[in-house]
Amino acid sequence: MAERNQRITFARSPRGLPVPEDFGADETSIPSPADGQFLSRTIYLSLDPYYRNVMKNSQIYADRLHPGDVMVGETVAQIVESKHPQFAAGEYVAVRNGWQQYGLSSGQGVRKLDPASAPLGAALGVLGMPGLTGYAGTVYLGRPLPGQTFVVSACTGPVGTTAGQVARHMGARVVGIAGSAAKCEYAVKELGFAACVNYKDGDLTAALKQACPDGIDVYFDNVGGDTLTAVTRNLALGARIVLCGMIEAYSMDTPPPGPWLGPIVGARATMSGLVVYDHMNRMPEMVKLISGWIRDGQFRYREDVSEGLAKAPEAFCALMRGGNFGKALVRVGAE
């Protein structure tokens, strides 16, 4: 192979929102698999908000980055050479290659993908970790009952798309929160939500009161901050809040305070923290259920694909500003 391996590297911890200069780029030779390893070429790179936390060396995550390290990340790839007995050249896999064209793997945590059963990119979105997050958080923590009001923020992203549509399939009345009129229109027309509130349109507390006249029974929180505060002012008695993401805080050096907790007591509400890794055993049931819904046209999702690895830093920075519309992917190589 005369080709080289293009990589995007970690340059420095961002100050506030990330900028492209927080990343570097280099190239290496394409590595060869040792016994028990396989080499795969990256097709799609997943962009996820939690990378921002990894870049701050948060202790929540196992990854630790040093300047010059290749950026970590989930990918869909095709195996090009294998010295692993359970993987063969030509197979498609979900594997953590990171932000590079080629990666080695021991096979640990790798899922094989069937390109005939679902589009490959979905394995990084609604049929991957974000989908599992939305699914497990809704089914096992949020537990909406039929007719209850279920609110989800960042509702056109892969986690929110999944949480909201799963709640809809459970009989809940789903209200989304998103950051543009186009996203809100998509949530109602395509995802089947009862309503969607644009948080950039002024008084979110009042808008939620109008969209949720009986109060909010379940809130799936992907963003924290002021949005969470507005929700706490509209809770129904016995409400459940699933704390999943705090995208605002990922770009802050000092963690921000949380909402005033008085309304939590008044509503006898429960807030629970969700970490998707605790629910890995639910991955097969989630993939089976949601891929079935996708084939039947009962579950929709949207991808926002950037072309070429070099675009990854810019696309990631846009994601952290809420500039994406749908699951943020980078096409690194041809399918």
> Cα–Cα distance between 126 and 140 in angstroms, integer?
17
Nearest approach in angstroms of CB 251 to a copy of itself is 13
Indicate whether 297 belongs to the interface with a copy of itself (CB under 8 A).
no
Nearer to a copy of itself, 28 or 272 (CB): 272
Nearer to a copy of itself, 113 or 246 (CB): 246
Distance of CA 22 to the CA centre of its chain: 21
Q: Where are the beta strands (DSSP E) in 11-155?
A: 23-29, 38-46, 75-82, 92-95, 102-105, 111-113, 149-153
Indicate whether 62 belongs to the interface with a copy of itself (CB under 8 A).
no
> Cα–Cα distance between 244 and 204 in angstroms, integer?
20
- Pick the piece of the chain touching a copy of itself (CB under 8 A) from 74-82, 97-105, 254-262, 319-327: 254-262
> Cα–Cα distance between 317 and 187 in angstroms, integer?
23
Give residues 101-160 in contact with a copy of itself (rule: CB under 8 A): none
| Exposure string over 35-52, b if 16+ CB within 10 A, otherwise e | eebbbbbbbbbbbbbbbb
* Residue of 167, 177, 178, 244 that binds a copy of itself (CB under 8 A): 244
- Pick the piece of the chain touching a copy of itself (CB under 8 A) from 8-16, 178-186, 264-272, 281-289: 264-272
* Residue of 270, 288, 292, 307 that binds a copy of itself (CB under 8 A): 270
Q: What is the CA radius of gyration of the chain?
A: 20
Nearer to a copy of itself, 69 or 226 (CB): 226
Indicate whether 195 belongs to the interface with a copy of itself (CB under 8 A).
no
Indicate whether 273 belongs to the interface with a copy of itself (CB under 8 A).
yes
Burial status of residue 24 (CB atoms within 10 A of its CB: 0-12, 13-18, 19 or more): middle
Q: Which phi and psi angles does 221 have, rounded to 5°? A: -95, 110
Site residues (vs a copy of itself, CB under 8 A): 60, 224, 243-244, 246, 249, 255-262, 264-275, 278
